[in-house]
Each structure stands twice: as structure tokens, then as C-alpha cells.
Amino acid sequence: MKRKLLLLNVVLLALLAYAGWQVRRSYVAAKAREAAELNRRAKSAAPPPFTPAPTAPPVSPGGYAAIAQQMLFDKSRNPNVIVEVPVPPPPPPKPMPPLPLYHGQLNIGDGPTVILSENANAAHQALRLGEQIGQFTLVDVNSEEITFEWDGNTIKRKLDTLIDRSEQAQAIAAAQTARTELPPPPVPVAKTPTGPGGEMGGGFRACDVNDSLPAGTVQNGFRKVLTPSPFGSSCRWEPVTR
């Protein structure tokens, strides 16, 4: 048994020595290749043929035109001046003519009929809804408002604003003129105590209009009597003897 173990140890020791020798041999060979590579001289390659660079053209201001035209941060760099044509203003709106004058309306059950005239001097016209007077078309009417159509627009007005008041104004002006031209009132005649007037028949005497004597005055045998009536006081002189 011991003899076998001893033989095994000798074999293992021989294997170990062989492995060490192989390692040593590989190491020496690697060092030799490394030294050969480091000491080997490299052959220099032939230089490429020399080609001179192209000569740059002379600098000119026109060469920078593209840069100036493509400058996005300054519009003044663009040599093309943009002329802004002003937009013409819209035409003024068409002036609306005067509205017709309103003179009244009637409705007998078949819809309203409106009496209108184009102006104060024009003839009166009886219009139904949808009919035209001048440039206006009657659209609707009621007791307070009237509606016209003109140039595609709807015109609504109060009836009071379309009434012709020129005749009323002329009448008022004529009345004021007549009032200013009235003659001054007559100067009142001063009354005086005149006494009995002319004979009235039956022994009575008339009263003078300008007589200032009070009722009950007795003069020349006559007494002044004032009798009230629906038309004013009645005056006479009657004999005292009665």
C-alpha cells in the first residue's frame, strides 16, 4: 500500500514539473516575439503627390447679397422695397331721403289703409301694406308705430314723428301775427250824470249809456230804476208819481 502511494506521489511530482516547464517555455517564447516586434524597423511609405489648394477669388460686396437677403432679423436688409398700398375706405352710406308724412289711417276689416304723402306739398296717397311711396315700401303699421323698407333696411318710426305740423305752425304764426296787429282798445268814455233821456212811451224815459247816476236817483220828476235780466241790467227812468 505504501509503495503505491509513493509511486503516485512520484507521478504527480513529474506532472507538476512538466507543467512548469511548459509554462516557462511559453513565457520565454512570448518575450522573444515581443522583443522581435519592438526591434523591427518599419518601412516608410512614399508620400502622396502634393496638390496645391485653389486660389480664393477676390472679395466683392455682391457676393454677400444672398446673406443680406436671407437675414431674418432685420427687414431693412432686403433690397426689395415692399410698397404697401393703402386700402381705400369703404364708400359712404347712401343718404336716406326724408320719410313720408303721416295723415291718418283707417281699417274697415280688410287691413289698414294709411294716408301718406311724400312731402308737405305732395298729394295724399292711400297705401296698403306692401305698396310703395317714393323710395319707401310700407311694411307694417299700428296705432303707435309705422314700419318702412328702404334699400334693404327696416325703418321704424313713431307716428307722432311723421305728422305734418306745418299747417299748425302756420296757423299759430298767423294767430300771433293777428294778435300783434289788433288795434288798441278804445279809450273808455268818462261817464257823467246826464239824467233822464228820450221818451220810451208810457211816460218812461231812456237811460243814457254814459249816465253815472246810481239807481233810485230822482231827477226832474223821474226815478232811475235798474232791473236785472238774463241779458244784463235793464235801465229806465219812470215818473215819480207812479
Confidence of residue 169 (pLDDT cuts 50, 70, 90): low
> In the predicted model, what is the mean pLDDT of residues 134-161?
92
Q: Which amino acid is at 25?
A: R
Give residue 146's pLDDT.
94
Q: Report which of residues 24 and 42 the model is more confident about.
A: 24
CB 120 within 8 A of CB 101: yes
Percentage of the chain with pLDDT > 70?
83
Q: 102: burial class by Cβ within 10 Å (0-12, 13-18, 19+)?
A: buried
| Close Cβ partners of 59 (under 8 Å, ≥ 6 residues apart) | none
CA 119-124-128 angle, 5° bins: 110
**pLDDT, tens only, 189-214:** 556 667 777 777 777 888 877 777 78
Give residue 184's pLDDT.
66
Q: What is the largest CA-CA distance in the chain?
A: 219
Give the three-state DSSP class for 153. strand
| Close Cβ partners of 242 (under 8 Å, ≥ 6 residues apart) | 203
Nearest to 113 by CA among 99, 131, 100, 98: 131
Q: Which helix (H) or strand (E) holds 4?
A: helix 2-39
Between CA 48 and CA 167 the distance in angstroms is 120
Is the pLDDT at 241 greater than 80? The verdict is no
> In the predicted model, what is the mean pLDDT of residues 18-31?
90
Percentage of the chain with pLDDT > 90?
21
Average pLDDT of the chain is: 81
Q: Which helix (H) or strand (E) holds 5?
A: helix 2-39
Is the pLDDT at 105 greater than 60? The verdict is yes
Give residue 176's pLDDT.
75
Q: Which helix (H) or strand (E) holds 15?
A: helix 2-39
Strand locations in the chain (E) = 101-106, 113-117, 125-127, 132-133, 136-141, 145-150, 153-158, 196-201, 204-207, 218-219, 222-229, 232-239
**pLDDT, tens only, 110-141:** 889 999 999 888 889 999 999 999 999 999 99
Domains and CATH numbers, the chain: 101-162 (2.30.30), 196-239 (no CATH)
Q: Report which of residues 187 and 197 the model is more confident about.
A: 197
**pLDDT, tens only, 46-94:** 888 888 888 887 877 767 667 666 666 666 666 666 778 888 898 888 8
Is the pLDDT at 185 greater than 70? The verdict is no
